[in-house]
Structure 1
Amino acid sequence: MAAPPSRRRQAPFLIGLVLILAALPVGWFVFLREPPAPLPPQAPQRPAVTQAEAKKAVELVLSSFDGTVDVKHGEAGDWEPARKDMPLRPTDVVRTGRGSWAVVLNGEAVELRLEAETEISVEELSNELSKVMLSSGLATATVRGRSNVRHTFILKANGAEAEASTAQGTFTMSNNGKGTVSVGTREGDVKLTGKEGKFVIVRAGQRSIVRPGQAPTEPAPIPSTVFVKMEWPKVKKLRAAKLAVTGQTDPGTRVMMGGVIVPTDADGGFTLNLDLKEGTNAVQVTAVGVGGTPKEEKRELVLDTRPIIEPEIPW
C-alpha cells in the first residue's frame, strides 16, 4: 500500500533538518571556536651534567709575589719564572727563593701565603676540596666558609705523616723537610692528623707539633714570643776563623742567619757554622714560629789572629 502524498512530501524536509542539525557542531568547531594559544618556543635541551663535570677541577692562581719565585708544571717539567695570575693545576710546583714570598688563591675560598725558601706542590683541586703538599718551609692558609658550597682545605707535610685541614679558619704550618711539623691556628679550628690517623683539634691561639713517626702533641697556647737560646762564645776575642755556635728553639721553628735558613733537628736544636773575618763580625739570628713575635739574637764576634807579643822582661 503506497504512503500518503503528505508523508512523501515531509520526508525530504525531515532529512534536510537532520543534516542541518548534524552540521551545526562541525560548523562551530571549524568557524566559531577560538584557535588554541600557540605553544611557547621550547628552549634547546641542555646536555646532562655528569658527576665528573660537576666536580671538575678548578685552578689555583699565583695571585702575587715578590722576589725570586719559580714554577714547574709537572714532575718532568722545567723550572720557569713565575708570572702574575699564573694558573696552577695538580702536579704543579711553586718555590720561593731567599727573601721572597708568594700568594696563591683558589677563588674566594682559599688564600695560601708562602714565605721565603718554601716549596709547595698542588695535589688535588675541586669545588669542594683543595689539597696542597708543603715540601718544606712556612705557609699560612686562610680558608673562608661559603654558604652554598662547603670547601675543605688540606695542607700536607712532605716527608712527615702530618696533614692539617679546615673548612673555615687561618693557620700556619712549618715543615723542616725532615719530618718535623708545627701547626699554629689563628682563627677557627684545624684538624691536625699524625701517625696512624691520630689527630687533635688545634683551636685559635694554640699550636701542636708532629715529630717523625709520632702523633701530634696535645695543643698548647702559642707563646707570645718565639723561644730561642744561643750558646755564644764566652771570650771577647777569638783566635780561630771557623766557629760553631749551637742554639735551641721550639721544634718546627724556622731559624735564619743573614736570610739563610739554618737546619733544625726534631727537638729544635741547630748549629751555626761561622766563617769569621778579621775584626768585628756582626751575627744576627732570627727565629720565626707558627705564631708569636719572631725573636732575634744579635752578637758581635771579634776575630783577632795577630801574633801575641810577649812583653820584654827587664833583667
Structure 2
Amino acid sequence: MDASRSRRRRAPFLIGLLAILTALPVGYFLFLHEAPAPAPVSMPAPAPKVSTPPPAPEPPRLVELKLQEIRGTVEVRRGGGEWRGASVGEALRASDAVRTLAGSYAVLIGGEAVEVRMEPGTEVTVAELTDTLSRLLLGKGMTTMRVRSSSGAPHALELTATGSDAVARSQGGAFTVSNNGAGTVALATLEGETTLSGQQRSVVVLAGQQSVVRPGQAPSAPAPIPASLLLKVNWPDRPRRQILISGQTEPGTQVLANGEGVLPDAQGRFSFPLTLKEGSNPVRVQVRSVGGLRQEEQRALQVDTTPPKAVTVDPGLWNDPAPPPP
C-alpha cells in the first residue's frame, strides 16, 4: 500500500521532469539559438554606361555677297574667267571677283552681316563666305566695310591685300582700307575696333585712328586720323602733247587723275602720263585718305602747236630811201 502510494507521488515528478527535459531544446532553439544569417541576395549587375558623344557642330553654312548698288561701269569675274559687265542683284561666291572702273562705284551686301562699299578703281576677290566668316582679298584701290552680328550670331570680317601680308579683321565694326598693290596698305577704323596684322605683329586700331603697313614692315602705331590731307601737284609750265604730271600725298592715299586710279608709292609720291589735245585740257587730281579726307587740284592745260604766222616784209623796206627831189 505504501509502495503504490509512493509510486503515485513519483509519477507527477517524473512527468514534470520529462516536460522540462522536453522543453529545454525548444527553449534553446527559440531563445538562445541564433538564426543563421540570411543568404546574401545577389543584385543584378548595373548595366554598363554607354558614353554618348556630343553632337557634332553643324558645319558653317555657305552664303553669298550680292551687288546691291552699281554706278558707272562695274565688272565681275567668275573664277579665272573673263571680266564682264555686272548687274544689280548678281550674287558672288568664293573665287568670284568684282571691280569698279574709272568714275564707278559699287555696294555689296552679305545678308545682314556684311556691307562692302567700293571706290572707283577698286578690285575685290571673294576668298570664303560662311554664316560666321567673310574673307575677302583687296587687289587694289579702296573699300569701306561694315560687319555686324546676324540674327544674334557673331560674324567676323577678314580682309587680306595683294602684295602684302597685311590682314584686317573686325567683328561688329566699320573700317576703310586702301592698297596700292605693291605692299602699302592703310587702314582707318570708323566704328568699333579693327585688328591690323603684318610681319607677325598686330595692332588694335580704334574708332578715329589709322595705321599704315609699308613694304616689309609691321603696322605703324595707331594714330588719330589727321585733320588735313597733303596734296601737291607739279604742273608743267609749257604743256606739250605728251606730258608727265607728278605729285606728293600721304602714304596709303588713293589718287585719281581725271577719274583714273594712280598708285602712289610707299612715300605717297605719284606720277602719271597724259596725252593732251590741241587747245584747253582740263586735268583734275583728287586724293582721298582712309580717314575720309579729300583734297583736289585742277588746271586747264593749254596746248598750242600751230606755228607762228609768216611775217611779210616789204622788199623796199631794206632799200635806201630815194633821194629827195631837187
The TM-score, its normalising length taken from structure 1, stands at 0.76
2:93 pairs with 1:102? no
CA contact (8 A) 1:94 1:119 kept: yes
Deviation, 1:193, is 0.6
1:198 corresponds to 2:201: yes
Matched letter for residue 199 of structure 1: S
Q: 1:292 to 1:239 in 2, by over 3 A?
A: closer
Indicate if the aligned counterparts of 1:72 and 1:78 stay in contact, CA closer than 8 A. Answer: yes
One-letter identity of the residue aligned with 2:136: V
Q: Deviations over 1:199-232 (max 9, x none)?
A: 1111111111111111111112222333211122
Matched residue, 1:31: none
**CA shift digits 1:238-264 (9 cap, x unpaired):** 263322222001111111111111221
**Contact kept in structure 2, 1:175 and 1:182, CA below 8 Å:** yes
Work out whether residues 59 and 87 of structure 1, in 8 Å CA contact, stay in contact via their aligned partners in 2: yes
**Structure 1 residue 184: deviation in Å?**
1.0
Aligned amino acid, residue 255 of structure 2? V
Q: Does 1:164 align with 2:168?
A: yes
**1:210 correspondence with 2:217:** no
Alignment match, 2:298: 298
Q: Deviations over 1:63-112 (max 9, x none)?
A: 2222222222222x333332322222111111122222111111111111
In 1, distance between residues paired with 2:296 and 2:239?
Answer: 26
Q: Deviations over 1:22-45 (max 9, x none)?
A: xxxxxxxxxxxxxxxxxxxxxxxx
Shift of 1:174: 0.7
Q: 1:97-132: per-residue Cα shift (whole Å, max 9, x none)?
A: 222211111111111111212111111122221111
Tell whether the 8 Å contact from 2:160 to 2:166 is kept in structure 1 after alignment: yes
* 2:66 alignment partner, one of 41, 61, 68: 61
Gaps of 5+ in 1: 1-47
| Structure 2 SS opposite 1:54 | coil
Is the deviation greater in 59-68 or in 142-151? 142-151
1:49-88 superposed matches below 5 A: 50-51=56-57, 53-75=58-80, 77-88=81-92
In structure 1, which of residues 107, 125, 128 is the aligned counterpart of residue 132 of structure 2? 128
Q: Which has the larger radius of gyration?
A: 2
Q: CA deviation at 1:160?
A: 0.7
Alignment of 1:247-286 (within 5 A): 247-286=247-286
Among the aligned pairs, what percent are the same residue?
Answer: 45
User: Corresponding residue for 2:245?
Assistant: 245
Partner of 1:227: 230
CA distance in 2, matches of 1:204, 1:194: 20
* Matched-pair contact (CA < 8 Å) for 2:239–2:301: no
CA separation in 2, counterparts of 1:81 and 1:276?
29
For 1:283 and 1:212, the matched residues in 2 are separated by 31
SS in 2 for 1:287: strand
**Shift in CA distance, 246/127, structure 1 to aligned 2, threshold 3 Å:** same
Instruction: Report the Cα distance in structure 1 between the residues aligned to 2:82 and 2:100, rounded to whole angstroms.
Output: 15
RMSD across aligned positions (CA): 2.4
TM-score by length of 2: 0.73
Tell me: CA distance 1:280–1:73, structure 2 relative to 1, closer, same or farther (3 Å): closer
Question: What secondary structure is seen at the aligned counterpart in 1 of 2:192?
Answer: strand
- Seen in structure 2, the aligned counterparts of structure 1 residues 292 and 278 have a Cα distance that, compared at 3 Å, is same
| Aligned equivalents of 1:258, 1:181: Cα separation in 2 | 23
Q: Give distance in 2, aligned partners of 1:131 and 1:204.
A: 21
Q: CA deviation at 1:135?
A: 0.8
Letter aligned with residue 105 of structure 2? W
Q: Which amino acid aligns with 2:155?
A: H
Q: Secondary structure at the match of 1:116?
A: coil
